[in-house]
Amino acid sequence: MLSRLSEWFWNERLWFPGDLGWADLEDRDGVTYAKTADLWVTLPIALTFLIIRQVFERTVAIRLATALGVKEKVRVRAAHNPMLEAYFRSTSKSPKQAEVESLVKKTGHTEREIHRWFRRRRNQERPNQLKKFREASWRFTFYLVAFIAGLAALIDKPWFYDTKEMWAGFPVLPLLPSQYWYYMIELGFYMSLLFSVASDVKRKDFKEQIVHHVATILLISFSWCVNYIRAGTLIMLVHDASDYLLESAKMFNYAGWRKTCNYIFIIFAAIFIITRLVIFPFWILHCTWVYPVTVYPPFFGYYFFNGLLFVLQCLHIFWAVLILRMAIKFLPGNNIVEDERSDREETDSEDDDEEDEKDRRVKNGPVLNGHSPLNNNHHRKTE
């Protein structure tokens, strides 16, 4: 059954137009072509990246954090309480009011003490500033190096200036050494991100990140197998063009360099919009979706490849909305650009204010428009 499935999956009519097939990509006359077996190289590369990352974060990132003045907030740990700890781990990390009242009866603590314990316990599980900085500095380093290397590899290629050149002679496109390493390193890096996503800082777009990593790995792997390499290198370069700016903005944000963070974020937002919402759909996606049908009839691989690109474009729109929301927040004069995907840390003062407000409402009885009935007339007079 597996052999039949493999035979169907690698059917030449699925992945190539016309009478072309895998035989056309056999090495001949000293010319090398991409091979599916080459992708196995990305596994040791991904593992190597995981090792390099650990060394980088514990040495270079730590020193860089010290130089930039990254300071960690002192967190008050939740007091040892086996009953609340068991509830936190097995039932809920954010109990509702009815559940809090039940815990009050079981533990003998007040509601305020219960709320404070859960808040501090949730904060204990949130990643600290240093961890966030280390992850951002690692991604910044890779994306910057990858963008410079990709630009150097493509700057003298004709398809860098004329996207129609991506399909000149397709699929019989010779493999260049620069293309080989660009692909293997990029694919290995994204596989390492997928391996480490469970231990990395979890954002609100965690599921979208998983979809992005899987779609990127499939896109790179597929484009390699069927020799869409010229299009693949352009797509990777477009994505690397803005990513390192976002990571550097995060680094300065964690270090408390507010103005520097804001300026870099503005540059990042502009480049992101230009590359992901203009160049990608109107140049690259247009040339992979519209132009090929003028050269050869559509086939399954054509639809599959463009389907993955459309998934990426949907993610681009999703992240563009988050970016614009963050940009709007600091435009009036806010001092910090907060990552919309991050889970904001709770403070004792916030919870105390909420509890005090609840106490006031209980003491004053039912409220109307935020004020007790006795006080409503007073507010009308003063207003």
Query: What pLDDT score was predicted for residue 366?
Result: 45
pLDDT category at 155 given cuts 50, 70, 90 is very high
Does position 52 have pLDDT exceeding 50, yes or no? Answer: yes
Mean of pLDDT values over 78-99? 80
Both tokens of residue 185?
């390193």
Q: What is the mean pLDDT of the chain?
A: 80
Residues 105-119 have pLDDT tens digits of 888 888 888 888 888
pLDDT beyond 70 at 55: yes
- In this prediction, residue 234 carries a pLDDT of 92
75 confidence band (pLDDT: 50, 70, 90): low
Q: Which domains does the chain have, with CATH numbers?
A: 31-67+130-330 (no CATH), 74-127 (1.10.10.60)
* SS3 labels along the chain: CHHHHHHHHCCHHHHCCCCCCHHHHCCECCECCCCHHHHHHHHHHHHHHHHHHHHHHHCHHHHHHHHHCCCCCCCCCCCCCHHHHHHHHHCCCCCCHHHHHHHHHHHCCCHHHHHHHHHHHHHHHCCCHHHHHHHHHHHHHHHHHHHHHHHHHHCCCHHHCCHHHHHCCCCCCCCCHHHHHHHHHHHHHHHHHHHHCCCCCCCCCHHHHHHHHHHHHHHHHHHHHCCCHHHHHHHHHHHHHHHHHHHHHHHHHHHCCHHHHHHHHHHHHHHHHHHHHHHHHHHHHHHHHCHHHHCCCCCHHHHHHHHHHHHHHHHHHHHHHHHHHHHHHHCCCCCCCCCCCCCCCCCHHHHHHHHHHHHHHHHHCCCECCECHHHHHHHHHHC
Instruction: Tell me the mean pLDDT in the region 36-42.
Output: 90
> Is residue 377 scored above 50 in pLDDT?
no
Q: What is the mean pLDDT of residues 313-339?
A: 73
CA atoms within 13 A on the CB side of 334: 13
Q: What pLDDT does 282 receive? A: 92
Q: How far apart are CA 246 and CA 365, in angstroms?
A: 49
Would you state the structure tokens that stand for residue 202, as one six-digit string?
A: 């979890």
Residue 67 or residue 353, greater confidence: 67
Residue 192 is predicted with a pLDDT of: 92
What confidence score (pLDDT) does residue 204 get?
63
Token couple for 360: 């006031």
Range with lowest mean pLDDT among 122-136, 151-165, 256-270, 333-347: 333-347
Dump pLDDT digits (tens) for 229-259.
999 999 999 989 999 999 999 999 888 888 8
> How many other C-beta atoms are found inside a 10 Å radius of the C-beta of residue 207?
9
Least Cα distance to 228 among 287, 283, 281, 278 occurs for: 287
Q: Which residues is 31 bridged to in the sheet?
A: 28
The two tokens of residue 339 are 């990552």
213-230 per-position pLDDT tens digit: 887 888 888 889 888 899
pLDDT band at 326 (very low <50, low <70, confident <90, very high): confident
Q: What is the dihedral of CA 348, 349, 353, 354, to 10 degrees?
A: -30
Asked if residue 363 has pLDDT above 90, the reply is no
pLDDT at 368: 40
